[in-house]
Structure 1
Amino acid sequence: MAGVIQMTARRSSLSLVLARSRNRMRDRSPGLAAGLFAGVLAAGLGLGSFAVVVMGLWISSPYPDSGPGGALHVAAALWLLAHGVELVRADTLSGVPAPLGVTPLLLLALPVWLLHRAARDAVDGEEGAPLVSARTAWAGVVLGYLAVAAAVAGYAAGGALRPSWIGAGVSLPAVVVAAAGMGAWTAYGRPRRPVERVLALLPRALRRLLTGVEGRERVGVAVRAAGAGAAVLVGGGALLVAVSSVWHLGAARGAFLQLTEGWSGRFAVLLLCAVLVPNAAVWGAAYAVGPGFVLGVGHVVAPSASDPAPMLPPFPLLAAVPEAGAGGGLNWAAGVVALLAGAAVGMFVARGAVRGGAGVWSWKRTVGVVGLAGLVCAVGFAVLGGMAGGPLGAGTLARFGPVGWQVGAAVGAWMVGVGVPVGLALRRWWGRGAVTAATASVPVPVPAPAPAVAPASTPGSDAEPYDFEREEGADTP
């Protein structure tokens, strides 16, 4: 009888576990399905946008090279290129496949925004329903998007521009995973726990500096300072490109007219220049910090000197490249952009040092935060520099644009080298004013008056009337 009761209890507990598992799967399946649908929809919207633009240019072209199938293959290839996938052109005159690896950064912004929005909406779920698990929504969006991407890569492989399978298997999933993860993290209000799990992988000494209340304050100030420095670098690089384009306006106009004659072709060239403006801004920033960029193997363009460039295709943005030869005063003046970026990093760190919750930071802590901001900015520009450049063909054009690690190292050196003295000087100046204001605002303690001691009462004094009757009664037996 006891064995029967024990077996029955085990069966009931097992049934309860299975029921709970079924309920969990049933509760999660709508969230996973919504994530899959959101990922497919995001990929479809991005791909449809590329297809509409390419088909519009094909229809308006007076001499199309291929039919609508070729235009759709080009649209699929450009969509993959926007995710950082390198393309390969097989039908060249020399017979050698020519790679194309320069990612238009403006085109990259569209799939990143669509993925971010899709993951955020998948977490929110239906109106009035509880939030979907971040992992479930993220996994659904990633799987749905990658399913469409795999089909697009297979379709584009049959066209003139074929995707590199290494890039399709590394760059595209990395973009999808990162953008969808940021969207899910934003939907939950940017919680600290996922960040702390990532920081747990760091060494203990470094983890102590980045965790806790003070660590989060350091990281926040460093990220804002790095963002300010990066914004100054990108804006300054864009300004350098604009000034150089105006300086070489005749060459840019000649290149523009040489490429095409019809209005549809000119519109296509203008559209291509527009999507490459962020790339040109990164190139300008790389020129300002020192390493410059490469216009073919062995041809470096930098403020110190510019090597003679090989035979480049006529393109308006390439007309802004400085002339070959040793750099002059105008070339070295581009370093002002790097100085301003480093000063911006130091100013933001000094502002955080003065406004800290525990008073003015020490000089060691200020220097450490400037170093952290320089590291963040350096890593960001190393990635941007690597994506803004790449191969444009075989042979000499196998290297084209900034070299990522060189640009990152130079940016980090400028941010720390300029940011440290500026941050310490502003911390000392602003900190003195903060201490003075704090001292003036603290009320001076006033000592409380001592309590008055009543004098001893004597008969006949005015302090207290003397009770003669009580005194006489005391003598009375």
Structure 2
Amino acid sequence: MTHATAMTTRFIACCVRGALAAGLGLGSVTVVVMVMWIASPYPDRGPEGALRVAAGVWLLAHGTELLRPGPTPGASPVPLGVVPLLLIALPAWLTYRTARDAPPDPSPDASPAPSPDTAGSGSVVGGVTVGYAVVGAGAVAYALGGPLAPQPLSAALHLPLVVALAAAAGAWTANGRPAGPLPEWLPEWLPERLRVESARSRTGVAARAAGAALATLLAGGALLVAVSLAWHGGAVRQAFLGLSGAWPGRAAVLLLALALVPNAVVWGASYGLGPGFSLGTGAVATPFAVAGDPAVPVFPLLAAVPAGGRGDWPTWAALGVPVVAGAVVAWFAGRAKALGGAGETALTACAAAVLCGVGAGALAAAAGGPLGVGRLTEFGPVWWRTGAAALAWTAVVGVPGALALRAWRLRGTPAVAVPQPAPEPVAAGLVGPAGPAAPAVPFGPVGPVPGWSVEPLDLGEPAEPGRSVDDGAAFDPYDALPATWEAAAPSGATGPGGFPPAPSVPPTPPLPPVPPLPAFPEPPDAAPRTSGDPKPASAD
């Protein structure tokens, strides 16, 4: 089997697996919708209408904007663009598992060990996405005539995007989560080991700090939502009971409210950041005030929105959420021992703030959307305001906090002084054991030294070309040494070279002779022993 044939076979297998994942998700949603339709005491449509609703809800779980009927028979359809974020978990999880458990490369030269394979991962992601999109196109065509008709352009944009991202995450996991290429901002002159450690340490610390800060914002948003629901418990209960009088209808409202809980958490995080969220055109709810005239539909989660007017200390306390998120960034960046100096710590905190802002903006864009026409076209947080506020809060609090925490961590660390070699002093002369010093040797070209004489070295005739030095018997390696090395003796000196004579060393006395060892006589009865004779017994 050639490599091209193997890749084609793998692509087709991934297409089939992607179609199966889409069918499994669509079937799960259909089961829930059909159960609710069967339990409804007053179904206004037949089973075909319920199946079309199930297809529309499944497309809504991928971010597709739907069109519901208007309030009057002749009115234009009303857009429904607020996607319950909890519904996205089902198709994302199915696609992730499908790409992660994709069949291996069947080519004979494929490595059995998992390794980063760009071409193989591309075929897996592409195959799963294509197979999933085929089922999605059929669902769009089937749901167009139902009460929740999808917009084809919105489905063509959102469904492949969600599926491709989830499939890419699954393929990345199957390849061992490779870190990818090194960033371009690293200098080329650094050794490869240092470049890899620097990039991975800084990027890893920034990613962990951003993830922790974003999780802190979401936790703070969930806390704000829980407190507001408890504070407005009566209004929430009244809205829940007023939407339907039968238990199947109330169960449907409860399921919808549970699916919208992640949206409410993101709204709470945006409220704590400061920009708040829109409650219709011209109406914004922030910790400082609720401006404009809110157009709030009757729904349990929306009943917990603060009342109009200026804010007070309970709403101002929501601003503590981004402060805690900035402190989390400072904690991760300031305590990271893999970072170098203060500049690298500040840069890592800034990178974490940017990543946190991008994540908050993406969540805000997914959590909002239109709920109708007119004043309900703007509903939810504005993504760019939420992202900019998250970036500003985490950067303003995180960067100084990281530097302060780093300084506090290093406060007890002694400064390590690098020893510098001391410069060698220039000698004024050669100092001997006694007598005057020899004249100093200046730097630069060395000339004759006064008081010293060296006879020229006679190396004899130069060797003929092609003749080795070993051919001459008169050559001795010691001939390269000077024949005479004497200096004029200064006045008062009697030893050679102008120095006083060395004191005479007395001769070492000879050692006394060692006396010979006494001879031990052999016993008269002893006979010579051979190697085979047994050892005589001890006298004991």
- Aligned residue type for 2:24: L
Tell me, in whole angstroms, the C-alpha distance in 2 between the residues paired with 1:211 and 1:395. 55
- Aligned residue type for 2:354: L
* Compared CA separation, residues 211 and 66, structure 1 to 2 (3 A): farther
Q: Which residue of 1 aligns with 2:36?
A: 57
Based on CA coordinates, which of the two structures has the bigger radius of gyration? 2
Tell me, in whole angstroms, the C-alpha distance in 1 between the residues paired with 2:142 and 2:20. 18
Per the TM alignment, residue 309 of structure 1 is displaced from its structure 2 partner at its CA by 4.1
Q: Which residue of 1 aligns with 2:86?
A: 106
Kept in 2: contact 1:101–1:391 (CA 8 A): yes
The answer as to 2:167 corresponding to 1:180 is yes
Q: 363, 366, 385: which is aligned to 2:364?
A: 385
CA deviations over 1:69-128 (Å, ceiling 9, x no partner) = 1111111111111111111224442612211111111111111111111111115579x9
* Compared CA separation, residues 364 and 299, structure 1 to 2 (3 A): same
Q: 101, 120, 124: which is aligned to 1:121?
A: 101
Q: 238, 242, 256: which is aligned to 1:254?
A: 238
Q: 24, 32, 49: which is aligned to 1:70?
A: 49
Kept in 2: contact 1:292–1:303 (CA 8 A): yes
- Aligned residue type for 2:218: V
Q: 223, 226, 230: which is aligned to 2:210?
A: 226
CA deviations over 1:206-236 (Å, ceiling 9, x no partner) = xx9x974312211111110001001110011
- Aligned residue type for 1:43: A
Q: Which residue of 1 aligns with 2:406?
A: 427
Q: Which residue of 1 aligns with 2:281?
A: 297
Per the TM alignment, residue 34 of structure 1 is displaced from its structure 2 partner at its CA by 2.2
Greater helix proportion: 1
Q: 26, 29, 32: which is aligned to 1:47?
A: 26
Per the TM alignment, residue 141 of structure 1 is displaced from its structure 2 partner at its CA by 0.7
Q: 355, 370, 382: which is aligned to 1:376?
A: 355
The answer as to 2:141 corresponding to 1:154 is yes
Q: Indicate the SS of the match to 1:322.
A: coil
Per the TM alignment, residue 427 of structure 1 is displaced from its structure 2 partner at its CA by 1.0
Per the TM alignment, residue 154 of structure 1 is displaced from its structure 2 partner at its CA by 1.1
Kept in 2: contact 1:308–1:325 (CA 8 A): no
The answer as to 2:258 corresponding to 1:274 is yes
- Aligned residue type for 1:412: L
Q: Which residue of 2 aligns with 1:34?
A: 13
- Aligned residue type for 2:238: G
Tell me, in whole angstroms, the C-alpha distance in 2 between the residues paired with 1:236 and 1:249. 20
Tell me, in whole angstroms, the C-alpha distance in 1 between the residues paired with 2:350 and 2:402. 11
Q: Indicate the SS of the match to 1:323.
A: coil
Tell me, in whole angstroms, the C-alpha distance in 2 between the residues paired with 1:372 and 1:325. 37
Per the TM alignment, residue 192 of structure 1 is displaced from its structure 2 partner at its CA by 3.0
- Aligned residue type for 1:176: V
Kept in 2: contact 1:37–1:141 (CA 8 A): yes
- Aligned residue type for 1:224: R
- Aligned residue type for 1:333: A
Per the TM alignment, residue 396 of structure 1 is displaced from its structure 2 partner at its CA by 0.4
- Aligned residue type for 1:240: L
Per the TM alignment, residue 163 of structure 1 is displaced from its structure 2 partner at its CA by 1.3
Q: Which residue of 2 aligns with 1:397?
A: 376
Q: Which residue of 2 aligns with 1:244?
A: 228
CA deviations over 1:332-381 (Å, ceiling 9, x no partner) = 100111111110111011122xx21xxx5222111111111111111111
Q: Which residue of 2 aligns with 1:329?
A: 313
The answer as to 2:24 corresponding to 1:24 is no
Higher mean C-alpha deviation, range 383-392 or range 177-186: 177-186
- Aligned residue type for 2:67: V
* Compared CA separation, residues 268 and 90, structure 1 to 2 (3 A): closer
- Aligned residue type for 2:142: Y
Per the TM alignment, residue 432 of structure 1 is displaced from its structure 2 partner at its CA by 3.2
CA deviations over 1:448-472 (Å, ceiling 9, x no partner) = xxxxxxxx997568xxx74899xxx
How much identity, in percent, do the aligned residues show?
50
* Compared CA separation, residues 458 and 393, structure 1 to 2 (3 A): farther
Q: Which has the higher contact order (CA 8 A, sep 6+)?
A: 1
* Compared CA separation, residues 160 and 46, structure 1 to 2 (3 A): same
Per the TM alignment, residue 307 of structure 1 is displaced from its structure 2 partner at its CA by 2.4
- Aligned residue type for 2:151: S
Kept in 1: contact 2:82–2:370 (CA 8 A): yes
Q: Indicate the SS of the match to 1:160.
A: coil
Kept in 2: contact 1:96–1:394 (CA 8 A): no
Q: Indicate the SS of the match to 1:340.
A: helix
Higher mean C-alpha deviation, range 35-44 or range 307-316: 307-316
* Compared CA separation, residues 467 and 192, structure 1 to 2 (3 A): farther
Kept in 2: contact 1:381–1:411 (CA 8 A): yes
- Aligned residue type for 1:102: V
Tell me, in whole angstroms, the C-alpha distance in 2 between the residues paired with 1:361 and 1:291. 36
Kept in 1: contact 2:282–2:293 (CA 8 A): no
Tell me, in whole angstroms, the C-alpha distance in 1 between the residues paired with 2:351 and 2:252. 42
Q: 79, 82, 86: which is aligned to 2:65?
A: 86
Q: Indicate the SS of the match to 1:252.
A: helix
Tell me, in whole angstroms, the C-alpha distance in 2 between the residues paired with 1:124 and 1:328. 60
Tell me, in whole angstroms, the C-alpha distance in 1 between the residues paired with 2:254 and 2:302. 14
Q: Which residue of 1 aligns with 2:324?
A: 340
Q: Indicate the SS of the match to 1:334.
A: helix
- Aligned residue type for 2:277: F
CA deviations over 1:219-267 (Å, ceiling 9, x no partner) = 1111100010011100110110000100000000000110011111111
Q: 334, 350, 363: which is aligned to 1:350?
A: 334
Question: How does the TM-score come out when normalised to structure 2?
Answer: 0.72
Tell me, in whole angstroms, the C-alpha distance in 2 between the residues paired with 1:114 and 1:172. 14
RMSD: 2.7
Extract unaligned runs of 5+ from structure 2: 417-503, 515-540
Per the TM alignment, residue 400 of structure 1 is displaced from its structure 2 partner at its CA by 0.3
The answer as to 2:299 corresponding to 1:318 is no
Tell me, in whole angstroms, the C-alpha distance in 1 between the residues paired with 2:69 and 2:195. 51
Kept in 2: contact 1:124–1:187 (CA 8 A): no
CA deviations over 1:162-201 (Å, ceiling 9, x no partner) = 21222112121111111111111111011233x55xx56x
Tell me, in whole angstroms, the C-alpha distance in 1 between the residues paired with 2:58 and 2:369. 17
Tell me, in whole angstroms, the C-alpha distance in 1 between the residues paired with 2:202 and 2:507. 75
Kept in 2: contact 1:87–1:164 (CA 8 A): yes
Kept in 1: contact 2:267–2:367 (CA 8 A): yes
Q: 177, 183, 196: which is aligned to 1:190?
A: 177
